[in-house]
Copies of this chain bind each other. A is one copy, B any other.
């Protein structure tokens, strides 16, 4: 995580123009830590601290923001978080959604003023109305894929959603992923002069999947996802794809 975050955080002011805040949410069992900063990640003391902190997590969502709707402020900084069915849900989004704010909300209300948080509240609202209790993984994936498809009709909806168990990814325009498993090799970041030998950092049974808008490393094979696709990842692998 520190390796990927090193790359992503550079895009917030050093190698990229996503300077309107950044955030990261990572799960430790049922708990979720969420750190946000409306300052550019490339120059953030908190981001520097995270890069040096030995965090162990099986599910992480990180985001660097380029504001288009909603001013630069802590409450408008992704990932957003809410509780549903006794789980902590996290959500990050790139894009704009035309007319999303006209959609009525019942159970959840936005704290900030972004399109994205409204979309997140709407998603959880719909899931909660469809399923007062948590449904099976299969039903949940199907429902989320349909809701993602609905949101993609409103504009650009590249997004990540997680309850700590599964990661749901929507590709509107840009999404790619890389899988890492034994035998592990080396990787070099595109955004920073940093290389890691995963063989030194892993066990033979480890399995990791990284999703991003654009590739983070130069010497690995990234798979580009087709537009209008929803992916479901669990335990380090893609388990479902809805086109």
- What is the interface of chain A, defined by CB distance below 8 A to chain B? 28-36, 38, 45-46, 49, 53, 73-77, 81-83, 85-88, 107-112
Contact = CB atoms under 8 A, between A and B. Distances in A.
Contacts of A87: 111
Contacts of A82: 83
A191 to B, nearest CB: 24
Nearest to A23: B33
A68 to B, nearest CB: 18
B107 A107 contact: yes
Nearest to A109: B86
A64 to B, nearest CB: 17
A110 B83 CA distance: 8
Q: Which of A30, A32, A87, A110 has the most CB of B within 10 A?
A: A30
Identical chains in the assembly: 2
Interface SS of A by simple majority: mixed
A30 B109 CA distance: 13
Contact of A88 (B49, B85, B108, B111): B111
Contact of A74 (B33, B46, B49): B33
A73 B31 CA distance: 8
Contact of A30 (B29, B30, B46, B73): B73
A86 B46 CA distance: 26
A74 B29 contact: yes
A117 to B, nearest CB: 10
Contact of A49 (B49, B73, B86, B111): B49
A205 to B, nearest CB: 24
A214 B225 CA distance: 57
The 7 closest A-B pairs by CB, nearest first: A31-B74, A31-B75, A86-B109, A30-B75, A28-B74, A49-B49, A30-B111
Contacts of A75: 29-32, 88
11 contacts: A29-B73, A31-B38, A31-B74, A31-B77, A31-B111, A33-B74, A34-B34, A46-B49, A46-B53, A49-B49, A82-B83
A36 B31 contact: yes
A217 B98 CA distance: 54
